[in-house]
């Protein structure tokens, strides 16, 4: 089967969240009140520098919207059991959204896969706090295991997103605070849990080898945010 078709179909299913290599024992920073809403200076529509995806930051959630264009032989689509063409739209098993298609000729179709992924939804397990000029996002990935990341507002109103990732220098973390190895047989890499004091958290926060700059978000002005794909009724 066309390798590109396989890649396109893979994008049609929900992106699984993964836990970073270093997690915290609770939401951080400690003894700082939870925000009821993300500050308006941080909200808006942004373009991700890495892949031109749209990041939409509202008062209570952060959503990623990405468009992936494709052109494929019609027979490759029709041969898939989990894929069905209805009129000028493609329906994929397990999803309510459909993909509008354009027939280039009798054997070739093209379209756009639109992915919406909610990265952060404020609630008991997704907490935002203001600290040292950053919005600190804490998300519980498992019971007692929290992923912590940062939104930092630039002078030009753009935003830097920083997080603990595979590129984080674990040695730098170990020099700042003690680490508990929580790696399981199902993990593909070592994982650690930390319980830093606030002094140690400050050190972690200010170490650019710990909290890695993952994305630069360029603010754009849109009167309306593009809507989600239409829902196919069959």
Q: Which of 69, 88, 66, 91 is nearest to 80 (CA)?
A: 91
Helix (H, G, I), strand (E, B) or coil at 229: coil
Q: How far apart are CA 47 and CA 222, in angstroms?
A: 11
Helix (H, G, I), strand (E, B) or coil at 155: coil
Q: What is the pLDDT of residue 222?
A: 59
Q: How far apart are CA 232 and CA 234, in angstroms?
A: 6
Q: CA separation (Å) from 24 to 132, 139, 196?
A: 19, 10, 8
Helix (H, G, I), strand (E, B) or coil at 176: helix
Helix (H, G, I), strand (E, B) or coil at 12: coil
pTM of the shown model:
0.75
Running along the chain, 234 residues long, what does each successive block of 10 average in pLDDT?
41 48 95 95 91 89 84 78 76 72 83 81 95 95 93 94 94 96 88 96 96 93 48 36
Q: How far apart are CA 36 and CA 21, in angstroms?
A: 29
Helix (H, G, I), strand (E, B) or coil at 205: helix
Q: What is the pLDDT of residue 17?
A: 43
Q: How far apart are CA 45 and CA 39, in angstroms?
A: 14
Q: How far apart are CA 155 and CA 53, in angstroms?
A: 22
């Amino acid at each position: 089967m066309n390798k590109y078709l396989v890649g396109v179909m893979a994008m049609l299913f929900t992106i699984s969240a993964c836990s970073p290599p270093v997690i915290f024992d609770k939401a951080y920073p400690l003894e700082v009140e939870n925000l009821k809403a993300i500050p308006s200076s941080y909200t808006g529509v942004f373009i991700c520098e890495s892949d031109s995806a749209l990041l939409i930051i509202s008062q209570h959630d952060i959503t990623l919207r990405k468009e992936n264009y494709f052109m494929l032989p019609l027979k490759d689509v029709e041969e898939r059991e989990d894929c069905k063409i209805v009129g000028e739209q493609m329906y994929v098993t397990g999803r309510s959204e459909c993909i509008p298609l354009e027939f280039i000729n009798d054997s070739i179709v093209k379209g756009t896969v639109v992915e919406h992924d909610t990265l952060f939804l404020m609630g008991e397990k997704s907490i935002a706090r203001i600290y040292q000029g950053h919005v600190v996002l804490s998300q519980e990935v498992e019971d007692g295991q929290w992923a912590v990341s940062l939104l930092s507002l630039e002078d030009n109103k753009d935003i830097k997103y920083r997080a603990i990732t595979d590129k984080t220098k674990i040695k730098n973390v170990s020099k700042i605070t003690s680490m508990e190895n929580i790696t399981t047989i199902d993990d593909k890499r070592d994982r650690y849990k930390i319980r830093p004091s606030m002094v140690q958290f400050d050190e972690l926060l200010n170490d650019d080898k710990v909290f890695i700059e993952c994305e630069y978000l360029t603010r754009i002005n849109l009167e309306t945010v593009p809507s989600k794909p239409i829902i196919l009724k069959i």
